[in-house]
Amino acid sequence: MQLTGAQMVCECLVREGVSVLFGLPGGAILPFYQTLAEYPDLQHILVRHEQNAGHAADGYARASGKVGVVVATSGPGATNLVTPLATAMMDSVPIVALTGQVPRAAIGRDAFQETDTTGVTAPITKHNYLVMDTADIPRVMKEAFHIARTGRPGPVLVDLPRDVLTERAEFDYPDAINLRSYKPTLEGHAQQIKRAAKLVRDARRPLILAGHGVSISGAFAELQELAEKAQIPVITTLLGIGAFAGDHILSLGMPGMHGQAHNNWAIERSDLIIAVGMRFDDRVTGRLSAFAPNARIVHIDIDPAEVGKNVGVTVPIVGDARRVLHALTLEVEPATHADWLKEIDVLREEHPFVMPESERLLPQYVIREICEATDGRAIVVTGVGQHQMWTAQHYVFKEHNSWITSGGLGTMGFEVPAAMGAAFACPERTVWSIAGDGGFQMTFSELATIAEHRVPVKFAIINNNSLGLVRQLQDLFYDRNRVSVEYSGNPDFVKLAEAYGIWAVRVSDKADVRQAIDDASAVDGPAIIDFRVEREENVYPHVPAGGSVFEMIEGPPTPTAEDVPAWRP
């Protein structure tokens, strides 16, 4: 069957089960767009900025577990994908990005809207392709989806020169994938699993550190079985939240920089850490030399390059989290670890994680109310900053695959388009975007798309008129020298919403919080709540960057509300 390159791309997308694409057209990718009309099964969502298309594909992928697809044109269209690709790369999210490129003969001549897209994106994609022969499209597309979704998932970019899209060639769709250089290890090494089980048997203070890999491999039941069989408490990293039920008796919460203090103390005392699908990020470990000084480490990860990268490992196990956890659970002996669990309870009492009490509108209160109103069962999307950490601390997730946040890259503005993508993936579920006023203003151009499609995302803007976490760093570590963190010119978000035809309300009073959440939930379509929260509130605990549990700041020094430093532009 002879097809154009553009038709081939569409055929491949259909065969991969793609139903939604996020994108924005331009000259080089136009042949693809002109062909889309022939494929009614492919719904294209026209965005306002390619970065948002990338994050939407990311949110779509995280919520659905499927590969997200983003389309952009050459040059600026492609460079606008840099941030979302880097975000997806850091957080192991499967995305296929299709970018237009100038015609083959023009490549390298600095043609209009030409960029070396594969060169620019090489370090922020799992793999990328520049297709120079139309007949290669079926193989490349099949490989791209395979690479994106298997092993440690990640973004794959396919760069398509304009004339490769228009040229006709025989459509020869491969039955199988033959990548001799890419064969992820799925089964853990049996001997290593036995060694790990032996360490579990001998451990007196074992901990499980569960990361994003548990969710990606769908190892929820396997993780719970291991934890329950050997009575091992579970700490979930930022992206591991939701991998283990937050209300389970063995669930301890989050470790690291803004994790609950008892977790960092438990890690300090632990004699065995079973790390699953996590990568010992510096926000988890702090200073490596002081991290878990008494613990031997079993590291289970599908990416061999993560094992031994940051911390020394006693037993490395490369493999898929679900299979390895299942095999490990069969090997470990039942245990109670009663003394250790008691010790952790004492740690919790000594280092309580308390909800600050105040008559004023505290951001933590807002998040707890959203959690209560949604029974911990919404899909919750955040960007990066204080609002993100408070959500991680105070929203107790009862469902898997419901927590979508930019963890590794820490991308402000992620919360708006990623929430839109999640809502397209799961139309039957409630999606809340808990946004910072800073991040929201980076990407709120997507409100137009959200309004057009009546995407039922509920936005809670945690509005403190500032870049809160940066202000917190200045307060704690730069002598309260507040520079370039105040957003005194924020728009009226309610009027802004009105401009888009989106329902909105402002809340400044604690008493009005729940009503506003319920009203927003009742709206058939998108809704925005502008929560004018206490702006001096900080995220605690706070382990200074490069510090250890011994330098952890567990709470505010003394109430100093009157003693507010000057804000400098």
Partner 1 sequence: MAPVETHTITALVQDRPGVLARIAGMFSRRGFNISNLAVGHSETPGLSRMTFVVEGDDWVVEQVTKHLYKLIDVVQVYDISAESIVLRELALLKVRSNAENRPEIIQIVDIFRASIVDVTKDSLVIEVTGDEEKVDALIELLRPFGLREVMRTGRIAMSRGSGTTGGRKGTKASVDQSAPDAEVVP
Applying CB under 8 A, which residues contact partner 1? Answer: 118-119, 122-123, 126-127, 130, 147, 179-182, 303-305, 307-309
CB 259 to partner 1: min, Å: 27
Q: Which is nearer to partner 1, 127 or 471 (CB)?
A: 127
Task: Report how far apart, in Å, the C-alpha atoms of 6 and of each of 2, 72, 137, 275, 542 are.
Answer: 12, 14, 9, 44, 51
Q: What is the Cα–Cα distance from 466 to 468, expressed in whole angstroms?
A: 5
Q: Which two tokens stand for residue 349?
A: 């009492």
210: left (phi over 0), alpha (psi -120 to 50) or beta: beta
Task: Report how far apart, in Å, the C-alpha atoms of 290 and of each of 293, 330, 548 are.
Answer: 6, 33, 6
CB 123 to partner 1: min, Å: 5
33: nearest Cα among 77, 86, 72, 78: 72
Hey, CA dihedral for 127, 130, 131, 132, is it positive or negative?
negative
Q: CB burial class (10 A; 0-12, 13-18, 19+) of residue 38?
A: exposed
Q: What is the Cα–Cα distance from 323 to 186, expressed in whole angstroms?
A: 7
CB 182 to partner 1: min, Å: 5
CB 91 to partner 1: min, Å: 16
CB 119 to partner 1: min, Å: 7
Question: Could you tell me whether strands 168-170 and 2-4 are parallel, antiparallel, or unpaired per DSSP bridges?
Answer: antiparallel
CB 309 to partner 1: min, Å: 7
CB 145 to partner 1: min, Å: 13
Q: Which is nearer to partner 1, 98 or 431 (CB)?
A: 98
Element (H, E) at 403: strand 403-405
Q: Which is nearer to partner 1, 318 or 362 (CB)?
A: 318
Q: Which is nearer to partner 1, 308 or 544 (CB)?
A: 308
125: nearest Cα among 85, 160, 97, 159: 85
Q: Which is nearer to partner 1, 183 or 428 (CB)?
A: 183
Q: Is 245 within 8 Å of 398 (Cβ atoms)?
A: yes
Q: Which is nearer to partner 1, 120 or 470 (CB)?
A: 120
Task: Report how far apart, in Å, the C-alpha atoms of 513 and of each of 357, 440, 491, 532 are.
Answer: 15, 20, 21, 11
CB 143 to partner 1: min, Å: 8
Q: Which two tokens stand for residue 276?
A: 């699953």
Q: Which two tokens stand for residue 381?
A: 């999307």
CB 209 to partner 1: min, Å: 21
Q: Which is nearer to partner 1, 37 or 305 (CB)?
A: 305
Q: What is the Cα–Cα distance from 374 to 368, expressed in whole angstroms?
A: 10
CB 210 to partner 1: min, Å: 23
Q: Which is nearer to partner 1, 34 or 185 (CB)?
A: 185
Q: Which two tokens stand for residue 119?
A: 């060169």
Residues whose CB falls within 8 Å of the CB of residue 305, separated by 6 or more in sequence, listed in order:
none
Amino acid symbol at 21? L
Q: Which is nearer to partner 1, 130 or 461 (CB)?
A: 130
Q: What is the Cα–Cα distance from 354 to 555, expressed in whole angstroms?
A: 10
Q: Which is nearer to partner 1, 87 or 474 (CB)?
A: 87
Q: Which is nearer to partner 1, 123 or 489 (CB)?
A: 123
Q: Which is nearer to partner 1, 150 or 433 (CB)?
A: 150
- Eight-class DSSP state of 307: T
CB 187 to partner 1: min, Å: 18
What residues are paired with 381 via a beta bridge?
A: 404, 433
CB 148 to partner 1: min, Å: 11
Alpha-helix residue ranges (DSSP H) falling in 152-245: 162-166, 190-202, 212-217, 220-230
Q: What is the Cα–Cα distance from 26 to 475, expressed in whole angstroms?
A: 45
